Amino acid sequence: MKDKIFKSLLFFAAALILILTAGIVYSLVIRSTDAFARFGFWQFVTSPEWDPRPESEHYGALSFIVGTLMTSVLALFFCIPFSFPVALFTGEYFKGKKVASLVGSVVNLLAGIPSIVYGLWGFYTLRPIIISLGLNEQGFGVLTASLVLAIMIIPYASSLTSEFLSMVPNDLKEGAYSLGATRLEVISRVSFPAAASGILASYILALGRALGETMAVTMLIGNTNNIPSSLIDTGNTMASVIANQFGEASGLKLSSLIAIGLLLFLITAVINSIAKLAMKRIKS
């Protein structure tokens, strides 16, 4: 009896998640059809125009898609030199040692900081530095947002990478050592190739995290509805345009914002399935 209840509870919980996800997709699709019907799917995706004035109303998602991809990929790029060494430190050099778990948990602590705090830090600390470096006049833009995003995704990238590095069989490494390989050679020739697809997967997951980040980016990117012309130019991301404009939106604008939400959902889903595929490869 107890077993049956437990089983049905589990079944219920699992089904609920599926239903929820399906419900989210359903409502995104239903409520975005207006925008897609009006502008056409490709037209909507490839138009950089965002004009909310009723007489010339036109919505296109391209500037936000570009802004999102620019900030996320740049953040990924910036986070590698920090997250990879941390992963090597905790997953390879000091694997299983106290100091490794200390560093690991401090880095993981970064994941627990609310994103608004990162946003405020970026606004009050990083932005004046960008201004004083003379990079741009007001300190907002893709670069500022990416730098903060990079710090935010370090824990996601490093903890998974470290996990995969520590999964590399000791026999392999010992074999290499016994052949006279140095530590660096072991890492670059044995550990790294063996864990490569897992490491790739963890960075893709970190990228997925960066794609959806809203608050900190909104505070730092400048929220201008244009395709950023350079790294120091201002722009907007998909998540932040939704956060900014959802409250007072109605009609076609609301539908367009939901359409952007659907696109973001699709992009994140594609990126997550790429990561899944990569992880599958490591297992086989």
Partner 1 sequence: MKIFLYFLVATLLLTACGNRQSKDSERKEITGAGATFPMPYYNIIFKDFGEKSGNKVTYGGIGSGGGIRSLMDKTVDFGASDAYLSDEELTAAPAKIVHIPTCMGAVVLAYNLPGVTDLKLTGSVISGIYLGTITKWNDAAIKALNPDLALPDKSVTPVYRSDGSGTTFVFSDYMTKVSPEWAEKMGTGKALKWPVGIAAKGNPGVAGIVQQTEGSVGYVGSEYGFALSIPVARLQNASGNFVDPNTESISAAANIELPADMRTMVTNSPEAGAYPISCFTWILVYQNQAYGKRTEDDSKALISLLDYVLSPEAQRVAANVHYSPLPEVALKNARVLVESIKYQK
Which pair of tokens denotes residue 246?
A: 């959802």
Q: Go through 134-165 and write b for each residue having 16 or more CB atoms within 10 A of its CB, e for each that does not.
A: eebeebbbbbbbbbbbbbbbbbbbbbbbbbbb
Site of tokens 């997550």: 272
Residues of this chain, 104-123, that bind partner 1 according to CB under 8 A: 123
Q: Which residues pair with 50 in a beta bridge?
A: 59
Residue from the set 50, 64, 89, 118 that interacts with partner 1 by CB under 8 A? 50
Under rule CB under 8 A, residue 139 binds partner 1: yes
Residue from the set 140, 156, 164, 203 that interacts with partner 1 by CB under 8 A? 140
Q: What do you get for the CA distance between the two ends of the chain, in Å?
A: 39
Query: Looking at beta carbons only, is 51 or 185 nearer to partner 1?
Result: 51
> Which pairs count as long-range contacts for 244-251, CB under 8 Å and 24+ apart, including other chains?
244/218, 245/52, 251/34
Under rule CB under 8 A, residue 3 binds partner 1: no
- Minimum CB separation of residue 278 from partner 1 in Å reads 36
- Window contacting partner 1 (CB under 8 A); options: 76-84, 104-112, 239-247, 274-282: 239-247
Q: How far apart are CA 192 and CA 184, in angstroms?
A: 10
Residue from the set 60, 122, 222, 261 that interacts with partner 1 by CB under 8 A? 222
Under rule CB under 8 A, residue 2 binds partner 1: yes
Under rule CB under 8 A, residue 229 binds partner 1: no
Query: Looking at beta carbons only, is 47 or 108 nearer to partner 1?
Result: 47
Residue from the set 18, 54, 171, 179 that interacts with partner 1 by CB under 8 A? 54
Under rule CB under 8 A, residue 218 binds partner 1: yes
Residues of this chain, 141-200, that bind partner 1 according to CB under 8 A: none
Q: Which residues pair with 59 in a beta bridge?
A: 50
Query: Looking at beta carbons only, is 40 or 251 nearer to partner 1?
Result: 251
Q: How many CB atoms lie within 10 A of CB 122?
A: 26
Query: Looking at beta carbons only, is 143 or 165 nearer to partner 1?
Result: 143
- Minimum CB separation of residue 167 from partner 1 in Å reads 41
Q: Is 261 exposed, middle or buried (CB count within 10 Å of its CB: 0-12, 13-18, 19+)?
A: buried
- Minimum CB separation of residue 137 from partner 1 in Å reads 5
Residues of this chain, 60-99, that bind partner 1 according to CB under 8 A: none
Q: Which residues bind partner 1 (CB under 8 A)?
A: 1-2, 5, 50-55, 123-124, 127-128, 131, 137-140, 218-219, 222-225, 234, 236, 243-245, 247-250, 253
